[in-house]
Amino acid sequence: MVDYLLKPFDYEDLQPRLERYATQRGRLLTTVVRGQADVDRFLAGAFAPPAGGTLPKGLSVETAQLVERALREADGTVSAAETATDIGISRVSARRYLEYFHATGNADVSLRYGTAGRPERRYSWRA
């Protein structure tokens, strides 16, 4: 199921749903699936708020713009800690925004393994 609309409905309710469907179908036709991560990223994007829509509770547009700019301007990948230091927010907040961008398909995540502890999540803006 892509969307659902109960009758009776107005054209104003139908139009944005049809536009989202067309966008989603276009993305589907150009998506290369190499594994489960690609499927998950695609499906996360399917349920992302439309452009100009609202962010999840607790995230602000202003901070999202700062995190996005930091990701876009990064030379390679960045961690949540590096992003936090770069823009002046907490590491936990940076991670929430980075994970949001990953869930919506705008950022890629890779893992960097060290000698001990959990692997570090590294983010890059998806071109």
Quote the pLDDT of residue 1: 59
Reported as half-sphere exposure (CB side, CA atoms, 13 A), residue 127 has a value of 4
Q: How far apart are CA 108 and CA 22, in angstroms?
A: 24
Please write the tens of the pLDDT for every residue from 83-120.
Answer: 999 999 999 999 999 999 988 888 999 999 987 888 89
Please write the tens of the pLDDT for every residue from 69-82.
Answer: 999 999 999 999 99
Q: Is residue 20 part of a domain?
A: no
pTM: 0.60
Q: What is the 3-state secondary structure (H, E, C) of 22-38?
A: HHHHHHHHHCCCCCHHH
Q: How far apart are CA 86 and CA 46, in angstroms?
A: 30
Q: Is residue 32 part of a domain?
A: no
Contact 102, 109 (CB under 8 A): yes
CATH number of the structural domain spanning residue 74: 1.10.10.10
Q: Is residue 97 part of a domain?
A: yes
Please write the tens of the pLDDT for every residue from 30-75.
Answer: 777 777 777 776 666 655 554 555 678 888 889 999 999 999 999 9
CA distances from 51 to 37, 40, 48, 54, 121 (A): 23, 20, 9, 9, 26
Q: Domain of residue 62: give its range.
A: 54-125
Q: How many domains does the chain have?
A: 1
Percent pLDDT > 70 in the chain is 87
